[in-house]
Structure 1
Amino acid sequence: MSLSTATTPKVTIETPLGPIIVELYPQQAPLTVANFLQYCQQGLFANSSFFRIVNEHNAQQAEDANASIQVIQGGLAPGDKRLLPPIAHESTEQTGLLHEDGVISMARFEPGTADGSFFFCIGEQPALNFAGKRYADGLGFAAFGRIISGRQVLEAIYHLAEDEEYLKDEISIISIYQI
């Protein structure tokens, strides 16, 4: 998925472990990228965190092994007072962006409920694509960019996984800003 162009927006996610730089794909996922950038521009991600790490050891056992995932979730947790209204769902079928290693995507419950929580894929995650098995609706999640620098920071965060998905000691997101 080499989509980088001179006009591709990029953001830096500042953490105590170092920066993560992500390029976003507004041509493929315009609603999702606009939503993410709005959170950045309004400073709403400042003092948020990476609060959930799902891996093969701590994930709730899915009835279907094809529904298992490995992700790092961050941003604003459900119920945070800073959350903006949710956006329409842009599926991978619409965008052509798949949940490959290093892809950033929006977390959601039902379709059309994505707001200020996002996640990074660790390895390929086909269960999160359109027709994937993660949710019974089969609509998948809205991928909208990929990490281009700071992979070692993402790996360091991933290796802090605990026995439970939700971290007792969340990893601070100092800020996320467009570069």
Structure 2
Amino acid sequence: MKRYLLLIALLAACHSNSNPDTPHVLIQTSAGDIEVELYRRQAPKTAGAFLSYVDSGFYKNGSFYRVLNEDNQVTGAPISQLIQGGIWKTNHSKAISLPGVPHEATRETHILHKDGVISLARDKPGTGTTEFFICVGDQPGFDFGGENNPDGQGYAAFGKVVKGMDVVRTLYARPESNQAFTQQIRIYNIVRE
């Protein structure tokens, strides 16, 4: 019996992520779960802020509400492919009440906007808070010096999907109108894994 319990404990330890530099979170959606590994060492301010929002329960009853694809952007402009979520549509007052996270450009973090990378949505550098997006395909225009942001600072990437890209692609394919999902995809919560 002792051996059996030891084996169970060892298996559980193998499946959990115990590295504090790369904690995992689970984005629990109505379409399935998305597991994301965060890079605290490379993007400490962004990943730290995101984890503080997770720990505070801010994402409970959030949503994925925006999609950028090849068909819904201005012709001739750099094309982006992503899904965006957070609490902007479900708890707007909370989203705008938080101070902006200091911008961590990809030039410093070296976390490039590749397929499955999660990044902080923002207006000007240092204004991002609870809203995030997940890249569908590689998006070099979001990196420092990229052409998808007029200020050239890019966006602050801070982690990557490690399980559930099939869910991300399912959401990406959902019906939309003018870059908004015709029906928001519910985020039940985001929790530490």
**Structure 2-normalised TM-score?**
0.85
Question: For residues 126-137 of structure 1, what are the structure 2 equivalents within 5 Å?
Answer: 126-137=140-151
Give the one of 89, 94, 111 matched to 1:82.
Answer: 94
2:119 is the counterpart of 1:105: yes
| C-alpha displacement of 1:5 | 7.8
Greater than 2 Å deviation, 4+ residue runs? 4-7
Question: For residues 12-161 of structure 1, what are the structure 2 equivalents within 5 Å?
Answer: 12-61=26-75, 63-64=76-77, 67-77=78-88, 80-83=92-95, 84-161=98-175
Gaps of 5+ in 1: none
Count of aligned pairs: 173
Cα distance in 2, alignment partners of residues 26 and 20 from structure 1: 19
Bigger shift: 80-89 or 43-52?
80-89
The structure with the larger Rg is 2
Cα distance in 2, alignment partners of residues 90 and 20 from structure 1: 24
Q: Matched residues, percent identical?
A: 41
Q: Which amino acid aligns with 2:183?
A: D
RMSD of Structure 2 on Structure 1 (CA) = 1.6
| C-alpha displacement of 1:161 | 3.9
Q: Could you report, residue by residue, the CA deviation over 1:22-54 in whole angstroms, capped at 9, with x for unpaired residues?
A: 000000000000110111001001111000000
Q: Secondary structure at the match of 2:107?
A: helix
CA contact (8 A) 2:120 2:129 kept: yes
Gaps of 5+ in 2: 1-16
Cα distance in 2, alignment partners of residues 161 and 145 from structure 1: 27
